[in-house]
Every structure is written in structure tokens, then in C-alpha cells.
Amino acid sequence: MDFRSQTAGAGGLAKLSGDTLVVVLPVDADAQSLESPLNELVADALAAGDLQLKPGRTLYIHRPPGLKVRRVVLATAADAGAKALRNALASAIGLLKNGPAKQLGVLLAGDTGLTAEHAEALVAAFSDAAYVYRHTKPSAQPAWEPQRVSLLCAKTEARALDAALARGSAIAEGVRVARECANRPGNHCTPSFLAEQARELGQQHGFKVEVLDRRAVEKLGMGAFLAVAQGSEEPLRFIVMKHEGAGRGEAPVVLVGKGITFDTGGISIKPAAEMDEMKFDMGGAASVLGTFAAIGRLKPKVNVVGVIPACENMPDGRAVKPGDVVTSMSGQTIEILNTDAEGRLILCDALTYVERFKPAVVIDIATLTGACVIALGHHRSGLFTADDELAQALELSGQAALDPCWRMPLDEEYDEALKSNFADMGNVGGRAGGAVTAAMFLRKFTGKYRWAHLDIAGTAWKSGAAKGATGRPVPLLTHFVLGRAR
């Protein structure tokens, strides 16, 4: 899709080019503020009761009198904000996606000035609607995708909006990459597949990519990572990607993504119900790949390192057992009380490994705990950090990207739950506060740099009829990286 800004030009909306006009009406909008004849159309629809100014309502008008476009879709929004615009456009697309509309103009009614957030929300709405997973389902019909979508604006807004639309398109591509990886079944999306995706992105965008095998991981002393991988026939992969957009001596932003390509729970095996969704347990890895796809297009002047420890967690005669003690790369020993708490085991070695980059900041991203889903549901990712400035930067990035997170506590009292009689720590505490104790575990390996943890167990995928990966938190991470650029 081609996204661009557009001014109405001579003749105004009546002479607007394209075949379809989508008008988003905030519930407090005044129909009379629209140009004629659009104001008459809206006023008549409201008076006749065909449209109500309540969020989520839509009305299709074919061959609207006085307008050059063939069709008009009116869509109501809760307010004039970017989030409401995205929701209203999703409703409007529902009326258009089975039709022939190809050249669309989008108008936000009212006197509210358009912002970069509006532009990115528009791209996100259309890109989300255009995504259909087909890799292992060739019978799936391609989604409706218009050729061009124009955001109608004032001349003074056009330049800034074009930049935001380009940024939104790059983020949308990153989201698509993340969704495509995470949606593939575990027999397709293996650790080796993730490594191949990293290499392809490297070739496409000029990233440096290094992939370590088991022998290299053993040499590094990653005992926790090796313990998780030892029950699987699939070979592990430790993936390192580098975007060098700034000076050689500038400390990088490091993104560490959990890459469990399938999680049975190991010997502490999961219930059968919904275990198929454990193919999404590499959502953190997918988000790192997606973020690199986005920054590959945008090429920000910042150094970024992506690290993905990737393996399966399987029950096998060689698999790690509850009660086993392993030695992490940091030298700290871990009693594995529950083999289904494996994500933190592969992450802890990765978090030690990244010390070599002398990072400005490290963010790990993981579908880590069901406890985070209980705490926050599916709307916000869990954010854990003791760094107030870093927390604020991530929260603001999430708000701007419509990919929100919520800060959770890291009080030292939670650390008590991880004590072990047989090792420096256990890998789980009790059931209470499970998302927090998981973060406290990771924190033990991050003492040499600024660090934050994003638990995306509730936001990386959807269940039910809409089952599939969301691509989150690629938008949040991309905004954060761009905010660090010079």
C-alpha cells in the first residue's frame, strides 16, 4: 500500500480524486464544520437516524450527490485522538474489504490538527486489515488491500505527516515480519528458521549477523540455556544482530528476545488444552526481528544489537529435571524447580552475554509468565525496571505507538521467594506474584547496565476465533529505538 498526505486542492472535497472517501466523525463533531456537500450528507444521515454519533457506527453511501468519489463511508469515533481514529478506521474497513475500493481518502472531521500519531494509526489500521497468514494455509484468501490511502490534511501539516506515514509503514512491516514468524507452527519455525530470518534481514538491510551453535554456546559456559535445550532434537541457535547506525564507540541499545520456538513445559509438562499456542512462545524473538525490519527501513543514527537465544523446551530422556542444578554463564547456580519456567533460564545467559557490548541500555522481551496475563490481561504489556527514567521512556514510546505497557514493582521483598537450599537461587517462587519474581530472577543477571524487562505473555498473540500473533511490541520498541537516535 502507498500511504501519503493529500490536500483537497482546487474544488475542495467535491472534486477529490480517488474512488472512496472515508470520513471519521468524532462523537462531538459538528457536521456543519465539513465542506459542502459533505455537511449536507452527514446532517441528513443523522437526521434520518441512519447514523448515530456513537463510537463504532458506520454508514456506506454509494454515488453520493455532489461528490466526484463513487462512495463515502462515514465512521464514528469516540474522540479525535489517534487510538479512536484507528478503531473507527477498522470499522470502516469492514464495510470496504469485500469491495472494489482501491484509491481512498481519509478525513478526520472537526478542527483538531492531525499529528504523527494520527498518521501512524491510519497505517496500522489498514496494514492490520491487510494481513492474512497463508504460509501453511494456501486456501486462505488474500485480504483486501487498497493501492493508495491518502490522509487529507492542511498544507502546513503535509510534510510532517508524510514523515510519520513513512515511519508507520516501516513499523507495519516490522509487525508483519513478527506476526509471520510467530504464526508459523513449531515444525516450521525452528531455532534454525529464526537464524535464517536474521540472516535474510542482514542481507536485506546491511546488518551484521552472527549465529552461534551448541559448541560455541558450551564454550561460553551458558549452562542455563543448554539445560533447556538438551531435551530437544532441534539444535539450539544463539543469534546476534547488529545495526551500526552511529559511531563505533557509541554504546548500543540491546534488545534480547526469548526464542522458545515450542514450549511443552518440559518434564513439568503443560496441560494439553491450548498447548498449540506455545508456538507463540518465541514472541520476544519475533519482536526483535520485527524491530530490526523496521529500523532497517528507517536507518536511525543509533547502534542497536539484537540477541535471540533460541531452542525448544521438550520432555526427553535427556531433558533437565525438577531439582537439577545448573551453572549459568554468570557463574551463579540455579536450582530448576519447574522446567516450565524455562524462558528466564535462556534469557539469564543472554543477559550475561550482552555485557560485552557495554550497552547504553538493555531491554529483554519475553512471553514469560501466565501471571502477567492474570495481572494485566491482554491490553498492556508488563514493564519491569528499577530505572525511573527508562520506565518513563518506554511508557511514552508505548503511548505514542498505541502499544502500551504498564510498570510493575520490583521491591526487594519479592526476592525472598527465589531462595534455594541447594543453589544460589531457584528458578521459581510461589504462585503469588509470579510475574514479579520472574523479573526479579532476571534482575540478578543485569547488575552491570541499565535494564528493563517486558513481559508480553498477554499481548504477543490472541486466542479464540482471532487466534494469531499480534506483532507487539514492535511499535513500542521501534519508537524507543528512534527516541535514542541522534
Q: Which residues are catalytic?
A: 270, 344
**CA 411, 412, 416, 422 torsion-angle sign:** positive
Three-state DSSP state, 242: strand
Cell, residue 173: 512491516
Contact 47, 55 (CB under 8 A): no
- How far is residue 204's CA from residue 221's CA, in Å, rounded to a whole number? 32
Which DSSP string do the residues of 409-441 spell out, in sequence order? ---GGGGGGG--SSSSEES---STTHHHHHHHH
Nearest Cα neighbor of 446 from 325, 328, 309 is 328
The position carrying cell 479464540 is: 464
The two beta strands, 405-408 and 381-384, are parallel
Contact 88, 24 (CB under 8 A): yes
Nearest Cα neighbor of 239 from 257, 261, 262 is 257
**CA 314, 316, 319, 324 torsion-angle sign:** positive
- Those residues with Cβ within 8 angstroms of residue 103's Cβ, 6 or more apart along the chain or in another chain: 17, 18, 19, 20, 146, 147, 148, 150
Give exposure, 134-148, as e/b (b: 16+ Cβ within 10 Å).
eeeeeeeeeebebee
Nearest Cα neighbor of 102 from 156, 57, 150 is 150
- How far is residue 120's CA from residue 208's CA, in Å, rounded to a whole number? 29
- How far is residue 299's CA from residue 482's CA, in Å, rounded to a whole number? 9
- How far is residue 138's CA from residue 483's CA, in Å, rounded to a whole number? 39
Q: What are phi and psi of 218, to 5 degrees?
A: -60, -40
**CA 378, 382, 388, 390 torsion-angle sign:** negative
Distance of CA 41 to the CA centre of its chain: 39
Contact 192, 211 (CB under 8 A): no
The two beta strands, 451-455 and 361-366, are parallel
